[in-house]
Chain A
Amino acid sequence: MTSPIVLTANNIRKTFNGREVLKGVSLEARAGDVIAILGGSGSGKSTFLRCLNLLEVPDDGEVMVGDFRAPLARNRKGRMVIADPRAAARMRGETAMVFQGFNLWPHMTVLENVMEAPLRVQRRDGAEVREKALALLERVGMAAFAGAYPKRLSGGQQQRVAIARALATNPKVILFDEPTSALDPERVRDVLALMRSIAREGCTMIVVTHEMAFARDVSTLVVHLADGVVESSGSPAHMFGLDASPAFRGFLAPAP
């Protein structure tokens, strides 16, 4: 039995200031997958994730989310650009993203942050959106803070709200960009526990992270990016076993 493909990235390339950060990276995510993207700093893992929802426009390659193909085209100078902003917005609406820096909207309360996209982008019914948002806040343990503004919250609390915001639109896939890197160790545990539980519920996730335990215990696929290419990939059992590629084992445990 195979689940449907929800996201495909084909041969993604990206160059910044003459440095080729991504040299042709491909990935396929099926419904229910939890894909951990690992790699050293500068390996291109965040850039790759940001190409998946077109926060970065790849220089080459294609991205598909569900039935939406990223509307990319070359302009007169030969650079790849978003050809149709409306189509790009629709495609992004099928995904959600959780950022390292949370990026909650500071002028909205916690509840308003969670309700914003379902209400304004998906134009769903207000009462139903509110009910679901409150249920999600309950789910992430933030119901007591529904009326608070983000700056009153700790980093871990903000990140849990951001996860509720991501879940609120029923996205086909949630992209996590180093969601615990800006948190202190105690908060890291809270956020990882929450991510584990939404993974168990069958949420499709692509996670750029440095949390090896999360990758080993929760993910269904581990991808090791190095120097802008997929150096190796496989099941966590394989990648964290003795048969893993020497480069990945070197990444996990640098020689003493």
Chain B
Amino acid sequence: MADGSGFYAPTLAQLFGAVPVTLLILLVSMTLATLLAAVLTACSASASPGLRAFRAGWTFLFRGTPLILQIFMIYYGLAMLPWIRWGPAWPAFRDPIFCTCLALTCCCSAYIGEVFRGALAAVPAGEIEAGKACGMSRLQLLRRVIAPALIRIALPSYSNEVIMLAKSTSLASTITVLDITGVAQGIISKTYRTLDVFLCAAALYLLINAILSAGLRAWADRLSIDRPTPKAVEPL
């Protein structure tokens, strides 16, 4: 590592070029997974047994199987089905970035859905009753009482899921996507400097996650009522 400074700078610069791909996968999957999780939560609160069963089945399936198998099945597996291979959706399923986003969305929606469901159950019943008692419609109750409480309760666990998701995007490299990890592996195959290159890649993930956590914490602080969220656990 004598020529450290001469190696790290160009490597970091090259890896930095892959940050947009990682961010694209992260932002698309995070947005879609959150929306899908909201739909799943609505299913769990529905009176319809069919919708409740759909949510339970979805969670069971996508939370119970490894993410990498989901990615492989969507990218390599679906291509074996004639109606995918020769169907109108083939241009999408041929694209590894699309397949990664699809797998991450399905998987993370199952986790985030559970976070939202737990938060919904934790919304104080009295606050909901106070809304009903003054004549709020179901939509008003949802928008004015339930959602504000639910977001505040769910935010810490939701932040966790988003950070897990940011790191899971690196699995895209297993299906040929040139994200940070993918580019890192390319550099390693030319230079054989495994540790140096992965250290650089890890530093970039740290940077992304530091910005994500700071953003999520700022959001939580803004929502928290008249005091910042506790930053340290009191010694027992």
Tell me if A117 counts as interface (CB < 8 A to partner B): yes
B94 CB contacts on chain A under 8 angstroms? none
Q: Would A103 and B137 be within 8 Å (CB), given that A92-B132, A120-B144 are in contact? A: no
B-side interface mostly: helix
| List of A residues within 8 angstroms of B129 by Cβ | 55, 97, 99, 103
Chain A residues within 8 Å of B, Cβ to Cβ: 53, 55, 85-86, 89-97, 99, 101-107, 116-117, 120-121, 149, 151-152, 165, 169, 175
| 9 A-B pairs whose Cβ atoms sit less than 8 Å apart in the complex | A85-B137, A86-B137, A89-B135, A90-B135, A92-B132, A92-B135, A103-B129, A105-B127, A107-B149
Asked if B133 contacts A107 (CB within 8 A), the reply is no
Q: Contacts A120-B144, A151-B225; is A106 near B127 (CB within 8 Å)?
A: yes
* Cβ A92 vs Cβ B133 within 8 A: yes
A86 and B145 CA atoms in complex are apart in Å by: 18
Q: Residues 217-232 of chain B: 1 if any A CB is under 8 Å from the residue's CB, otherwise 0?
A: 0000001011000000
Asked if A169 and B134 sit within 8 Å, CB to CB, the answer is yes
Compute how far the CA of A96 lies from the CA of B130 in the bound complex, rounded to whole angstroms: 9
Query: Which 3 pairs from chain A and chain B are nearest by CB?
Result: A93-B135, A103-B126, A117-B134
CA distance A111 to B73 in the complex (A): 55
**Sample of 18 further A-B pairs with CB below 8 A, known A92-B134, A120-B136:** A55-B133, A93-B134, A97-B129, A99-B129, A101-B126, A102-B126, A103-B127, A104-B130, A105-B130, A105-B131, A105-B148, A107-B148, A117-B136, A120-B140, A120-B144, A149-B226, A165-B134, A169-B134
- Most-contacted residue by chain A among B130, B132, B145, B149 (CB, 10 A): B130
Residues of B within 8 A of A55 (CB): 129, 132-133
Whether B85 sits at the interface, judged by CB under 8 Å, is no
Bound complex: CA A44 to CA B126 (Å): 19
Chain A residues lying within 8 Å of B225, measured Cβ to Cβ, are 106-107, 149, 151
Is B138 close to A, CB under 8 A?
Answer: yes
What chain A residues lie within 8 Å of B126 (beta carbons)? Answer: 99, 101-103
Question: Which of A96, A107, A165 is most buried by chain B, counting CB atoms within 10 A of its CB?
Answer: A107
B144 to chain A, nearest CB (A): 6
Closest-by-CB residue of B relative to A55 is B129
* A120 to B133 Cα, complex, angstroms: 14
A95 to chain B, nearest CB (A): 7
Q: State the Cβ distance, B49 to closest chain A Cβ, in Å.
A: 13
Question: What distance in Å separates the Cβ of B147 from its nearest Cβ neighbour in chain A?
Answer: 10
* Contact status A97-B135, CB under 8 Å: no
0 or 1 for each of B130-162: is its CB under 8 Å from A? (1 = yes): 111111111010001100110010000000000
A39 smallest CB distance to B (angstroms): 21
Compute how far the CA of A104 lies from the CA of B149 in the bound complex, rounded to whole angstroms.
12
Give chain A residues whose Cβ lies under 8 Å from the Cβ of B226.
149, 151-152
Contact in complex: A97, B130 (CB < 8 Å): yes
What residue in chain A is nearest B125 (Cβ atoms)? A103
Complex CA gap A96/B152 in Å reads 27
> A51 CB to closest chain B CB, in angstroms?
13
**In the complex, what distance in Å separates the CA atom of A91 from the CA atom of B130?**
14
What is the chain A residue whose CB lies nearest that of B129? A55
Find A89's partner among B127, B136, B145 (CB 8 Å cutoff). Answer: B136
Shortest Cβ distance from B21 into chain A, in angstroms? Answer: 38
The reply to whether A103 and B130 form a contact with Cβ atoms under 8 Å apart is: yes
Encoded as 1 (CB less than 8 Å from any A CB) or 0, chain B from 17 to 53 comes to 0000000000000000000000000000000000000
